[in-house]
Amino acid sequence: MSPEAIVQMLRGLSGTLFDPGIVQALDGLAADERFWADMATADPTLALANSPDMFEDRAMTRGQLMAASQAFSQIIDFRSRFTATHTRGVAETAVFLAEKAGFNAPEQDQMRLAGNLHDLGKLAVPSEIIDKPGPLDAQELAVMRRHPELGRSILLSVPGLEQVTDWASQHHEQPGGQGYPGGLSGRELSLGSRILTVADVFTALREDRPYRAGMGHEATLRVLDDMTAHAALDPLVTSLVHEHHLELNERRLAAQTLAAAEFREFYSGLEQ
């Protein structure tokens, strides 16, 4: 698809699937030939990150940054119908738990950014691994397990997102030290990182997957409790899930239902 066709398609979805401000920002970038040259490289994210002169006059407000993170979450999730709503569910779950843990409004905004971007590194994971219905072999698992550190390397190139980067890139770490990629444990993991880990697991358990239906209330809590007993999850955060489970799941379900509608609208737009 040509650059002109891509921009025209996105303009047609402005105000419905995509924030008009983001589409307008893309119009500005699309006029620059360097943008499309970087997009054509083997690693477009790295190429764009290494071209700060393209963005130095395009400072983003907090609202624009949030909209951009949501757009990236759609890019991540829409690669597969099996993950089309996962990131939105994780972000909403993480914000809810952060609120119940006493995080203030700016910290909750940071948590939403981290939730939206926690799987950013999966853009570098081949689709055949993302879509594989069965267990991954050792080599595939090694590739998949690189996504947190790949996401971290991308986010570290954005000034001011240090806290968000830590939370997002540590969502597979575990309090007992058996997680990845860094094997962090104990006080090395902030409460924000522990919240995002629980949010990721909770959302994965409750949502449908190609090999199983989403788990119900009791089964989900049993799995969370078992993982907590083995130091895979933080007991404080797990207790918040127990205390607010019904409301938490309603928030997750509402967010993922909206994301599913956006996913269907996106692909129906491509078919026109």
- Structural domains of the chain ordered from first start: 1-59 (no CATH), 65-271 (1.10.3210.10)
- pLDDT, residue 58, reads 47
- What residues are annotated to the active site? 122
Give the distance between the most distant pair of CA atoms in the chain.
55
Read off the pLDDT of residues 49-70 as tens digits, 9 standing for 90 and up. 455 444 444 455 667 777 777 7
Report the candidate in 153, 79, 65 with the shortest Cα–Cα distance to residue 112.
65
- pLDDT, residue 260, reads 83
- pLDDT, residue 184, reads 96
Report the candidate in 259, 240, 258 with the shortest Cα–Cα distance to residue 248.
240
Residue 241: helix, strand or coil by DSSP? helix
Omega into 181 within 30° of 0, i.e. cis? yes
- pLDDT, residue 85, reads 86
Tokens of 248: 């938490």
- pLDDT, residue 1, reads 58
Alpha helices in the chain (DSSP H): 3-12, 20-30, 33-39, 44-49, 62-77, 86-100, 105-117, 127-130, 138-144, 147-155, 162-169, 191-206, 217-229, 235-243, 245-271
Report the candidate in 105, 231, 218 with the shortest Cα–Cα distance to residue 177.
231
State the 10-residue block means of pLDDT for the chain, 272 residues long: 70 64 68 65 52 47 70 70 81 97 94 92 85 86 93 86 94 96 95 97 87 87 98 98 96 91 71 53
- pLDDT, residue 57, reads 45
